[in-house]
Amino acid sequence: MKINCVSNSSNLLEVTKDHIVGDLRKIGINKGDHLAVTLSFKSIGFVKGGPSAFIDALLETVGPDGTIMMNTFTLAFPLSEIRSDYIFDPKSTVSYTGLVPETLRKRKDSFRSQHPINSVAAIGKLAKYLTEGHDENSSPFMPYSKLAQIGGKYLCIGIGNRLVGIRHEAQYRAGLFVVPFLIGTKYRNKKGEIKFFFGKGVPCIEKLPDMVPTLEKMGIIKRGKIGMASSILAYAGELIDAMAEMLKKNPTLNLCDNILCLQCRELERRMNLYERIENPKFFQKSILMRKIITLRNGFLLKRYNQTSFGNSKGKKVAKRTRFNLSKIFDTVVATISRILNR
């Protein structure tokens, strides 16, 4: 199938709907598949017809018995900084996950889940099944668990080994949501009432791409191209199970090397992982540095676990104070780090 050069400011290649359908079939998407898609749309090339044509290509590939699902995640805030002027409404709130998911969400035959932060939109035969029940009372990434149960697939287009969305279900199953990194937002429930939602922020994801080569060797991941974009395809259940088992067996796989990473430094402390780290950094070996980091993190976590409903001026002053103090903490940690690491 032909990709034609077109003249545009981005110097991208034009990719037609037929070409996308061909690439989807080549990588392993079939009629009747239920498919979660995460993507960088621009990485595909200059798609003739834009996001709508791309969605049409997905729907044509899976057919009337298939389903397409995408993340439509929305804003959340530290508990002490929840915005009073922002209210999540599943019928209208724009997601931050990109133009294609937003286009899918706005289609008249699509369904969107009710979760105030981690909603998804779906279209197709099992769209209602995948989205229903995913609300303020459910596990945050339940649609991926449902996708796994029905033998669905996961397609990652043009974003490397990041495995967006589905990776958090694996972290959740592995028991890594242990840090009280609490976030929240105001939302409109099914009755039209405005409520507050509080939930745990996700663990760090910086090191998770390092797991992909192992998953590939296990035969769980298949690589291909959609247009110009390098892509990854896997069965959702196999991918979640394998990642969750790897993380459960060795939680240190989730630890990044940034001394100032609140999530990772607290994860290793709360799960007492220091002796299990294969090549520990000096700050993981030093008792003094552990204590300093713990003190610093305890201060930072107050931003996430203390709810504030005061006036906006008071919130701004408190936010500015926390920012200044956190900068001081970070400078102290970095300075001591340099001294001890000589």
At residue 331, the pLDDT reads 72
Between 52-66, 68-82, 310-324, the lowest mean confidence (pLDDT) is in 310-324
Q: Measured over all CA atoms, what is the biggest interatomic distance in the chain, rounded to whole angstroms?
A: 63
Confidence grade of residue 40 (pLDDT, cut at 50, 70, 90): very high
How far is Cα 283 from Cα 292, in angstroms, rounded to an integer? 10
Name the phi and psi angles at 282, rounded to 5: -60, -35
| Burial (0-12, 13-18, 19+ Cβ within 10 Å), 86 | middle
At residue 205, the pLDDT reads 97
Q: What is the mean pLDDT of the chain?
A: 91
Residue 172 has pLDDT above 60, yes or no: yes
- Residues with Cβ within 8 Å of 292's Cβ and at least 6 positions away in sequence, in order, are 332, 333, 336
SS (H, E, C) 184-214: EEEEECCCCCEEEEEEECCCCCCCHHHHHHH
pLDDT tens track for 198-241: 999 999 999 999 999 999 999 999 999 999 999 999 999 999 99
At residue 317, the pLDDT reads 43
Between 48-52, 128-132, 170-174, 178-182, the lowest mean confidence (pLDDT) is in 178-182
Q: Walk across the sheet containing 4-5 and list its strands.
A: 4-5, 13-15, 46-47
How far is Cα 151 from Cα 63, in angstroms, rounded to an integer? 16
Residue 152 has pLDDT above 60, yes or no: yes
Confidence grade of residue 123 (pLDDT, cut at 50, 70, 90): very high
**Strands of 105-228, DSSP E:** 111-112, 120-124, 153-157, 182-188, 194-200, 222-226
Q: What is the rounded average pLDDT of the residues 99-119? A: 98
In the chain, the percentage of residues whose pLDDT exceeds 70 is: 86
Query: ∠ CA 305-331-302 to the nearest 5 degrees?
Result: 5
Distance of CA 333 to the CA centre of its chain: 29
Confidence grade of residue 319 (pLDDT, cut at 50, 70, 90): low
The amino acid at residue 48 is K
Residue 2 has pLDDT above 60, yes or no: no
